Structure 1
Amino acid sequence: MEAKKLRIAILTLLISSGCMVQAKAAAQPNKILHVAIEAPDDGFDMVKTYNFYSGKIAEVIFEPLLKYDYLARPVQLVPNTVQTLPRIEQNGKVYTFKIKPGIYFSPDPAFKGQRRELKAQDYIYSIQRILDPKNRSTTYSFIDGKIVGGNQANALAKKTGKFNYDAPIAGLKALDPYTLQITLTRPDYNFQYILAYVTFGATAREVVEYYGDRIAQHPVGTGPYQLSKYVPRSKIELTANPYYRGFVWNFKSTGSAWDNRLVQEMSGKQMPQIGKVEVSIIEEEQSRWLAFKTGQLDFDKLTSNAVPQALDGQKLKPELVKQGIQHYPNKDPEITYTMFNMKDPTVGGFGLDKIALRRAITLSFNQDEAIKQLYKGQAVRSEMLVPDGVQGFNPNYRSSLAYNPVLANKLLDRFGYKKGADGYRTLPNGKALTLKFMTENSSSSVVQSELWKKNLDAIGIRVDFQVSNFADNLKAATQCKYMLWGGAWIADYPEGENFAQLLYGPNSAQGNLSCYQSKSYDALYQQMLALPPQQRLSYYEKLSRQIEADNPWIIHSSRIRNWLLHSQVQGFKAHPMMNTNWQYLDIQPVKNK
């Protein structure tokens, strides 16, 4: 009897303390989620990459201080590893966070058999890694000039050749093991959104030092999943983190029918339910569509070439509805664009002839035809730098650059790009002009290449498409070793600064993949940063006009993502800022038909 009482007392203590016992009981190994990503990752050290597909995996491994409410729209920040939202003082200059005790990193040899508890210092170390110039972090721009002492630590490391991780930084303090205080150089109420980005997730110093240069293949965090199998450019397997504290699915509906159903299905469940996530890298659209149709994938984005097979207008076709397939359309807060390498001798530079070439190429591209052919109508044209759904977007803004091949030809004629006997133009110095366009091996890339060739033929410019894969193309772009490449950026946090920093000069080859360095653009960007977010609209318009003047980018469109789900998937809702929602889902047994 006494032994039984003791077992009950221990169980009560574990449950009341929020220990990982709840998560262990909830995550069921037989619940396996099968998903796909359409391009390779390049490891999971998010300090050194902003590969979107790396980020999808990292989001369920690493935990920032804050996260987003799963259902709330507009997006709403909520505590993640902290007890409450931060205490903000001095008009937005000082942020204080209280970290929840009893949160542990997933088991790893770096911890030598001991459970490693999350502490305030782990977040300081993560920010230090971003500040370390050796890492050339693409996220550095998020905190550049913002943290007291941060830029000085970065400058000193550049001078000495080594970042001192033991030296204090005035703006980063662990007041006690569970209290983190961040002091900014100026008020910024937007800063808490930055801290919800995955790169600011907690990292244990001993793990980074243990794995060294191999850290990208050994991510260790406090999140709901841990990496259990990794076959680069082929397959990724995640299993539930046995030390994860778990949570109860308890979100409020926005009032939509979709949300109401989710609340009915999921409320009260201990999460995560899914014990294993198997991620396949399937670059070819037709293969991915077939994998979904045959049930090899539990859900996926509808590929462009499958739109006619799946949709009737904007609705799912009746035969798919009868199969129990669910349809969730969602316009991403993103822009797609084509980048010019501004350091390239052919298309880069600020001479009038170079600007004329880039502008002619921009004017030659038929955006409406691209939306029709490439996305089967599932996209909307983007007019400015900041997309819909992000603060700084102006629905009334109109780009000064519209499809106009006649004007494009006149520009090229005016600046000495003469046509030869074969109908193709030469450079003003008489040498051959051939654009080299990086692309990927997929059916959508083939369609895009055909569109580009058709449009460039119309203005007499020869183009050579260099086919590789996303990860290698990203590496080349990061090193400014390319001519043209297509890109996309989806919001990491809901403020236009997230997009404007992509062309800020000091971020060249470190997020700014166009390697664009414009004194005019940089001055506008710096002036914009000095203002609170709600006063920045006119600057986002000016920055968009500067892009139209210099043409480091061709801004294209925002895509509509049509998510299709098999009937066994419960709890799914696409989120504007979160790219991964696996910890919020459940899988029900498939009924025999």
Structure 2
Amino acid sequence: MRTLQISRVVRIARIFTALLSAFALQAVQAANPADPGKVVRQAFEAADDGFDMAKTQNFYSGWVSEAIFEPLLSYDYLSRPARLMPLAAEAMPEVTEQGKVFTFKIRPGIYFAPDPAFKGKKHELTAHDYIYTFKRLLDPVNRSPNASFIEGKIVGLDDVAAKAKKTGKFDYDTPVAGLRAVDKYTLRIELKATDYNFLYVVAYGGFGAVAREVIEAYGDQTGLHPVGTGPYMIEKYLPRSKIVLTANPEYRGYTWDFKSTGSTRDEEIVKQMKGKKMPQVGKVDISIIEEEQSRWLAFQDSQLDIDKLPQSAATAALDGVALKPELINQGIKMDRVTDAGITFTIFNMRDPVVGGYTKEKIALRRAISMAYSYEDEIAQMRLGQAIRSEMLIPKDIVGYDPAYRSSLVYDIKLANKLLDHFGYKRGPDGYRNNPDGSPLTLKKTIEPAALYKVQAEIYKRGLDKIGLRIDFPVSNFADNLKAASACKLNMWGGAWNADFPDGENFLQLLYGPKAGAGNHACYESPAYDALFRKAVSLPLGEERNKVYAQMNRQVEADTPWIVHTSRIRSWLYRPWITGFKKHPILHSDWAFIDVEKH
């Protein structure tokens, strides 16, 4: 059945590519400053999940979608820490009524990319498009993993969603008091209570404007046919293989004028880019290359212009934290940053083997955690390109506490005592059974890349020491994400990079109402959920950070996750790429850089 579905998707994608060929020609000939001869070639290490951001939190889907859809706000390209700035909005919003009412003025003259859904007419972006976009996230049919960003927050919106759950249909024409178009270009959003992170929410890629005509025209295939107001549009899409973006002929462009932070690198970028009409890049060619060695060979062979140095190639490419002379002599440059993100292992809390909230199930998960060597992960899996994560909130994100230390540490002796105490007895083969005597086998699903096989070896070594059997089924990332979203995996490895620079963005991944819709552990803890609601009601500051720390302790107590590392990324780029600087929140940087003739 799955093979038939994939074949159908590929056929649809080919039809979609043919329909877009005429629009790709327009992009070449249009007034958009992008030069069709300037091509950036890049690779993704895992597949996307389509480009309907109301239905996915897939990292690679979001990466591409950032180039296609435009939220009201975005982030300054150079500023660190990340700083909000207007995008489709003319300016930062007027905020009134003690932070509960936000009034945005939308720039006139922004148009969606041309598409047959518009029947030959140009579609200008208006306040109504954003109202429709916000409503889609609470339409029950979409089961949006991003719904929690606004669920329970906007006056009147939850009432329409509740009615849709009863009737089976969301009425998009029903007025919502908290989402009002004051006029064509003025959007007024009223919240039920003060939310100090709401502007970060508005800047999240899932709130990039979509047009109702497009969604209604393509229905379930919207993810294969994204149409936005951003600098790029899809020219070619072969799921799990190739994504080609071309310049959107309706994009208004902008002049590059970001301010340096004072660093030598920023000064160089400003000198290269200041005053240029953007975007300059006319085409983005993305290949899906899951195997690290293949991706590294492609970069070495100049088939890729920008690539994240695979961890398996770190010893070959780096001398400590610097590029080796042979790469420097080729003109290759590096931007080395620590991810504003974490990696972790997910336990499915609904799984009969590792799930549940009884003491013996918690003991099992804690023992598994204590049998995992973070030092081995950093040395063997990450090849030194990572740091240990002590909490769910990574460094440089609001709520991070550099003094915080996890209570879950590598301790084989204590893990064995814990399992012994809760009745996980060893059989004649030395492996443990469940307390009721039934066989016990863990299953941690992994992706095919070599580094996950290394991690599997680390897990197996530790678990052998405490007498737990484990298997490692292998499948691709997109299928694993779908299975995890449906609460069907036993254990899985996850990673999360910040969508906005506050700890809420990480802690919401374990919020109970998101179970099965972004909360891949399907974790439902009344204590944790109460702390989450308390935290988001507090202004930024020490009191809120203390609640964040309590939430971390609650997660350690229940152990729905094992928190691992924050990865150090060494982004390599060819000498003809100018203006490149990896952003902690934004991932689509093609509209900010240039390609020199080479």
TM-score, L = length of structure 2: 0.94
Contact 1:61-1:222 at 8 Å conserved across structures? yes
Matched position secondary structure for 1:536: helix
Name which of 355, 361, 365 aligns with 1:348: 355
Partner of 1:533: 540
Shift of 1:23: 7.5
Partner of 1:398: 405
Name which of 192, 203, 219 aligns with 2:199: 192
Matched position secondary structure for 2:114: coil
Matched position secondary structure for 1:428: coil
**1:248 equivalenced with 2:252 (yes/no):** no
Partner of 2:577: 569
Partner of 1:558: 566
Name which of 427, 431, 437 aligns with 2:434: 427
Distance 1:50 1:102, change over 3 A: same
Matched position secondary structure for 1:59: helix
Output the CA distance in 2 between the equivalents of 1:22 and 1:330.
38
Shift of 1:22: 12
Q: Which 5+ residue runs of structure 2 have no aligned equivalent?
A: 1-26
Alignment of structure 1 residues 142-291 onto 2, 5 Å: 142-291=149-298
Matched position secondary structure for 2:181: strand
Moved more, 529-538 or 329-338: 529-538
**1:358 equivalenced with 2:365 (yes/no):** yes
Contact 2:385-2:567 at 8 Å conserved across structures? yes
Contact 1:44-1:54 at 8 Å conserved across structures? yes
Output the CA distance in 1 between the equivalents of 2:216 and 2:362.
46
Partner of 1:13: none
Output the CA distance in 1 between the equivalents of 2:249 and 2:282.
10
Partner of 1:98: 105
Partner of 1:542: 550
Letter in 2 for 1:579: H
Alignment of structure 1 residues 430-445 onto 2, 5 Å: 430-445=437-452
Matched position secondary structure for 2:130: helix
Shift of 1:21: 12
Partner of 1:513: 520
Alignment of structure 1 residues 23-38 onto 2, 5 Å: 24=31, 26-38=33-45
Contact 2:443-2:490 at 8 Å conserved across structures? yes
Alignment of structure 1 residues 70-149 onto 2, 5 Å: 70-149=77-156
Regions of 4+ moved over 6 Å: 20-23
Shift of 1:84: 0.8
Output the CA distance in 1 between the equivalents of 2:537 and 2:125.
34
What do residues 430-485 of structure 1 show as CA deviations (whole Å, max 9, x unaligned)?
11111011111111111111111111111111111110000000000000011000
Letter in 2 for 1:562: S
Shift of 1:295: 0.5
Output the CA distance in 1 between the equivalents of 2:592 and 2:436.
60
Letter in 2 for 1:74: P
Contact 1:23-1:245 at 8 Å conserved across structures? no
Output the CA distance in 1 between the equivalents of 2:540 and 2:30.
39
Matched position secondary structure for 2:221: helix
Output the CA distance in 2 between the equivalents of 1:532 and 1:346.
40
Output the CA distance in 1 between the equivalents of 2:462 and 2:301.
37
Partner of 2:343: 336
Contact 1:23-1:247 at 8 Å conserved across structures? no
Moved more, 531-540 or 266-275: 531-540
Contact 1:439-1:468 at 8 Å conserved across structures? yes
Matched position secondary structure for 1:337: strand
Partner of 1:6: none
Partner of 1:8: none
Shift of 1:24: 2.6
Output the CA distance in 2 between the equivalents of 1:451 and 1:304.
16
Partner of 2:6: none
Letter in 1 for 2:162: A
Output the CA distance in 2 between the equivalents of 1:208 and 1:496.
32
Distance 1:22 1:87, change over 3 A: farther
Matched position secondary structure for 1:467: coil
Distance 1:219 1:382, change over 3 A: same
Contact 1:227-1:237 at 8 Å conserved across structures? yes
Letter in 2 for 1:412: L
Letter in 1 for 2:418: L
Contact 1:384-1:399 at 8 Å conserved across structures? yes
Shift of 1:306: 0.2
Output the CA distance in 2 between the equivalents of 1:39 and 1:331.
20
Shift of 1:533: 2.4
Contact 2:28-2:36 at 8 Å conserved across structures? no
Output the CA distance in 1 between the equivalents of 2:562 and 2:417.
19
Partner of 1:65: 72
Shift of 1:268: 0.9
Letter in 2 for 1:344: D
Matched position secondary structure for 1:522: helix
Shift of 1:146: 1.1
Partner of 1:451: 458
Shift of 1:230: 0.4
Partner of 1:9: none
Contact 1:148-1:171 at 8 Å conserved across structures? yes
Matched position secondary structure for 1:228: strand
Contact 2:196-2:536 at 8 Å conserved across structures? no
Shift of 1:25: 5.1
Contact 1:23-1:271 at 8 Å conserved across structures? no
Alignment of structure 1 residues 481-500 onto 2, 5 Å: 481-500=488-507
Contact 1:208-1:215 at 8 Å conserved across structures? yes
Contact 1:23-1:244 at 8 Å conserved across structures? no
Moved more, 234-243 or 189-198: 189-198
**Total equivalences in the alignment:** 571
Partner of 2:50: 43
Contact 1:23-1:270 at 8 Å conserved across structures? no
Output the CA distance in 2 between the equivalents of 1:330 and 1:146.
34
**1:306 equivalenced with 2:313 (yes/no):** yes
Shift of 1:499: 0.9
Letter in 1 for 2:237: Y
Partner of 1:477: 484
Letter in 1 for 2:254: F
Letter in 1 for 2:573: L
What do residues 131-157 of structure 1 show as CA deviations (whole Å, max 9, x unaligned)?
111111111111121111122222111
Output the CA distance in 2 between the equivalents of 1:253 and 1:173.
38
What do residues 467-517 of structure 1 show as CA deviations (whole Å, max 9, x unaligned)?
000000000000001100000111101111111111111110111100001
Partner of 1:11: none
Shift of 1:189: 3.2
Shift of 1:187: 1.4
Q: Which 5+ residue runs of structure 1 have no aligned equivalent?
A: 1-19
